[in-house]
Amino acid sequence: MEAIRDLERRLISEVLATAPNKSEAIKMLGISRRTFYLKLKEYGLTRL
C-alpha cells in the first residue's frame, strides 16, 4: 500500500510542476477539486 501512496504523491508532484494552474492540474489528474486539495494536504505538497 505504501508503494501506491508513493506513486500517487510523485504523480501529483509532477503534475503540479507542469500544470499552468490548479484547474489544469485537476483536469490532468482526473480528480475532483475536493480530492485535489485533500491530497495536497495529505502529502504536504505546495499549491500552485
Cell readout for 25 is: 492540474
Res 47 pLDDT > 80: no
Cβ 37 vs Cβ 44: under 8 Å:
no
Cα distance between residue 1 and residue 46, in whole Å? 23
- The tens digit of pLDDT for each residue in 31-46 reads 999 999 999 999 999 7
What would the mean pLDDT of 16-30 be, rounded to a whole number?
Answer: 97
Res 48 pLDDT > 90: no
pLDDT score, position 46: 75
